[in-house]
């Protein structure tokens, strides 16, 4: 099971904050990125974004706050 990841990079064309990233390994590493807003795509031999942080799923700070407020 893959953990949903949150990208920390912005689109260089439209500055959208939701950029999809991926990594391909074939005779080296190639990093791919795509903006769902303007559909701009680009590649890089170096990582496009710093390592992504796991996106909180289900049990985050909000769940604890809601439980203590009730």
- Find the helix or strand (DSSP H, E) in which 23 lies: strand 20-25
Average pLDDT over residues 37-56: 78
pLDDT given for residue 63 in this prediction? 47
Give the mean pLDDT of 40-65. 67
Structural element, H or E, at residue 48: none
Distance CA 31, CA 42 (A): 8
The residue-averaged pLDDT of 42-61 equals 68
The separation between CA 35 and the C-alpha centre of its own chain, rounded to angstroms, equals 11
What is the reported pTM? 0.56
Bigger pLDDT: 58 vs 43: 43
Query: Could you report the per-residue pLDDT of 7-46, keeping only the tens digit for each?
Result: 578 899 998 888 888 999 988 999 999 999 999 999 999 8
């Amino acid at each position: 099971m893959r953990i949903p990841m949150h990208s920390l990079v912005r689109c260089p064309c439209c500055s959208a904050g939701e950029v999809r990233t991926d990594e391909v390994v074939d005779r080296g590493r190639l990093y791919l990125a795509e903006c769902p807003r303007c559909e701009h795509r680009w590649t890089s031999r170096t990582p496009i974004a710093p390592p992504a942080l796991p996106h909180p799923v289900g049990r985050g700070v909000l769940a604890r706050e809601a439980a203590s407020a009730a």
